[in-house]
């Protein structure tokens, strides 16, 4: 029990720190792209700004609107945060360096991420604010829509490996990373994780110009912090999952590495993907909701279904197994 608790703390501690510094990196990178300075007052080069923001939010008064379902109102951000942290127990940081090495690791991740959507749904349902309710409806439709493509793309990778285990998926990429034969699929997966994590240009559930803050409109203090951590934690997690599926995870090309080097390799690949996500946010305007739905149901889904038929046929034709 004590060992399991220590393992969880070893993972969660650096994770929360990385989430804090992703927010600083995002503001710095976007500031540079938009010819602004970004945060530079708190700490050296603004490196303590995230902790100042966290302290500000935690000392704010917790306000529970009188016309809400208070149990669901408080429970919703907890569901989002717990699910957002739970998936990290399945991530391998090296060969054998994983808290929970399940044979059905990918399936477990999909199951937990599906439950996380209930946090957003309940946040809008518990509130009597129209912006919160509209934001949760948008989030529900968006997550369900892109979860289809998200799952099918993961299934295509599983066709190559023949296993749902994350370590086996990584070890199968020793010869070639899957981004090489599956480059169009990797690009669509990048679009899918943008929609899954409510990132621009797919940030319609919390679009400030229309819905104030969407499903988070009536939240303050620590419940807002929970949603904030869950959202940025999802961004980091999905970038890590992308590096595992398409960039070889902790593998270093041509080098038999273990220990610290495997963790640094996974972190470097994840950081590159995080930079790309920030770059996209700074570059593209928000889509209309009909454009968002047309992109998935009319464009991406038919292509992914076609690949779902083509790739197993190619594998069988060449007898890869």
**pLDDT single digits (tens) 69-95:** 788 888 888 998 999 888 998 999 888
Report the pLDDT value the prediction gives residue 156, as an integer from 0 to 100.
92
Report the pLDDT value the prediction gives residue 207, as an integer from 0 to 100.
61
Dig out the tokens for 144 from the structure: 């369900």
pLDDT in tens, the chain (321 residues): 677 777 777 888 888 888 888 999 999 999 888 888 888 888 888 888 888 888 888 888 887 877 777 888 888 889 989 998 889 989 998 887 888 888 888 999 999 988 888 888 888 777 776 667 776 777 778 888 888 899 999 999 998 898 999 999 999 999 899 999 999 999 999 999 998 888 878 887 666 555 555 667 777 788 888 888 888 999 999 999 999 999 998 998 877 767 778 888 999 999 999 999 999 988 988 888 888 888 888 999 999 999 999 998 888 888 754
Dig out the tokens for 154 from the structure: 């993961």
Please compute, for residue 118, the number of CA atoms within 13 A of its CA located in the half-sphere on the CB side.
Answer: 11
Distance CA 120, CA 213 (A): 12
Handedness of CA 43, 45, 49, 51 (dihedral sign): negative
User: Could you tell me if 221 and 62 are in contact, meaning their C-beta atoms sit under 8 angstroms apart?
Assistant: yes
pTM recorded for the entire structure: 0.91
Distance CA 83, CA 111 (A): 10
Distance CA 39, CA 84 (A): 27
Report the pLDDT value the prediction gives residue 20, as an integer from 0 to 100.
87
Burial class (CB in 10 A: 0-12, 13-18, 19+), 81: buried
Report the pLDDT value the prediction gives residue 40, as an integer from 0 to 100.
86
User: Could you tell me if 92 and 170 are in contact, meaning their C-beta atoms sit under 8 angstroms apart?
Assistant: yes
């Amino acid at each position: 029990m004590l060992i399991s608790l220590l393992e969880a703390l070893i993972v969660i501690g650096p994770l929360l720190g990385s989430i804090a510094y992703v927010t600083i990196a995002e503001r710095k990178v976007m500031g540079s792209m938009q010819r602004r300075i970004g945060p530079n007052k708190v700490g050296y080069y603004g490196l303590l700004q995230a902790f100042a923001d966290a302290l500000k939010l935690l000392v704010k008064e917790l306000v529970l609107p009188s016309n809400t379902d208070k149990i669901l109102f408080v429970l919703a951000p907890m569901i989002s945060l717990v699910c957002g942290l739970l998936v990290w127990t399945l991530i391998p940081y090296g060969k054998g360096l994983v808290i929970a090495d399940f044979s059905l690791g990918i399936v477990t991740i999909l199951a937990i991420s599906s439950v996380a959507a209930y946090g957003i749904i309940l946040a809008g349902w518990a509130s009597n604010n129209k912006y919160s309710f509209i934001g949760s409806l948008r989030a529900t439709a968006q997550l369900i829509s892109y979860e289809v493509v998200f799952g099918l793309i993961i299934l295509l990778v599983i066709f190559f490996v023949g296993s749902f285990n994350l370590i086996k998926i990584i070890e199968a990429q020793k010869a070639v990373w899957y981004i090489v034969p599956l480059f169009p699929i990797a690009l669509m997966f990048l679009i899918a994780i943008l929609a899954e994590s409510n990132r621009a240009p797919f940030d319609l559930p919390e679009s400030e110009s229309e819905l104030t803050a969407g499903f988070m409109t009536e939240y303050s203090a620590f419940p807002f912090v929970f949603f904030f951590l869950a959202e940025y934690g999802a961004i980091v997690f999905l970038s890590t999952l992308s590096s595992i599926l398409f960039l070889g995870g902790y593998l270093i090309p041509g080098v038999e590495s273990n220990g610290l080097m495997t963790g640094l390799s996974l972190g470097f690949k994840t950081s590159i993907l995080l930079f790309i996500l920030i770059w996209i946010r700074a570059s593209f305007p928000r889509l209309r909701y009909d454009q968002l739905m047309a992109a998935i149901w009319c464009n991406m889904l038919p292509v992914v279904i076609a690949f779902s038929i083509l790739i197993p046929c190619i594998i069988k034709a060449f007898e890869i197994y």
